[in-house]
A and B are shown apart, each in its own frame.
Chain A
C-alpha cells in the first residue's frame, strides 16, 4: 500500500516537471527568431526530457493503478492542479490573482468529489 502511494508521488513529481519543461521549450520556441514548426521541437533536448518525464510518470501511474483504487489515485493526482501553477509562478514569474487561486481551489474540490463518487 505504501508502495502505491510512493508511486503516485513519483507520478505527480514527474508529470509536474514535464509540464514545466514543456512550457520552457515552448517559450524558447516562441522567442527564437528562426521560423519554427513542430520539427523544431524534435531537435530540442528539453522537449525529449519533457517527453521522458511524462513517460516515466505514466509508467508509475499504471503501476500505482494496479495497487490503488482508481478514485483514490485520481484524487491524489489532483495535487498537480496546485503544484503546476505554484511552480510556474516561481520559475516563470507568472502571476495569479486571488480569484484565479479560488478557481483552482474549486477545481480541486470538484476533482476530489469525483474521486469520492
Chain B
C-alpha cells in the first residue's frame, strides 16, 4: 500500500529536537563553551531559543547561506537541513531565525516562536535532550538556562560531572535522575510543554 502523504515534510516534531540538532552545529564548530538559553514570555507571547558558542564561526556569506537546505559544510552529503527545518518551523509559528557570527570568535543563533501560535511545535522533552547533549559533548562546557516569568533554572555540565564523580552518565539510574532533575525544575518554574 502506498503510504498516505501529507505536504508537511518537516519531521522535527518538537523544539527539544531542534535544540539537540542545532547544538551539534556548535559541537562541530569545535566550541569549548556552548550556552543554550530558552526564554519564555507570556507577556510578549514569545518562546526564544538562543544558542551561543565560541566555536570557529562563519564568514558572512556562509551565514547568509546557512539556512539554505542545499548548503552544508559537510562533505559526507550535499544537503544540510538542520537550520532549514528550524527556519521552516519558526516562520510557520510567526517567528524568525537570526544568526550572527564572526570567524574565530563564535556564533550566536536566535530562534523566536510565537508562544501561543497554533503551529508552534510542542516543546518536547528538554530533560532527555539535555541528557543526550551532556552525554555526547565531552570536549567543553555546556550551559543551559531556562527563563520563565516565575523563575529561572540553569544547569551546566561541569557541576553535573562534579556531582556525579566517577559514576558514569550512562548508568540507568543516573540517567533517570538527571532527566528527572531537569523536568522537576522546569515544572516548578512553569515552563511551557
Q: Do A and B truly interact?
A: no
- Which A residues are closer than 8 A to B by beta carbons? none
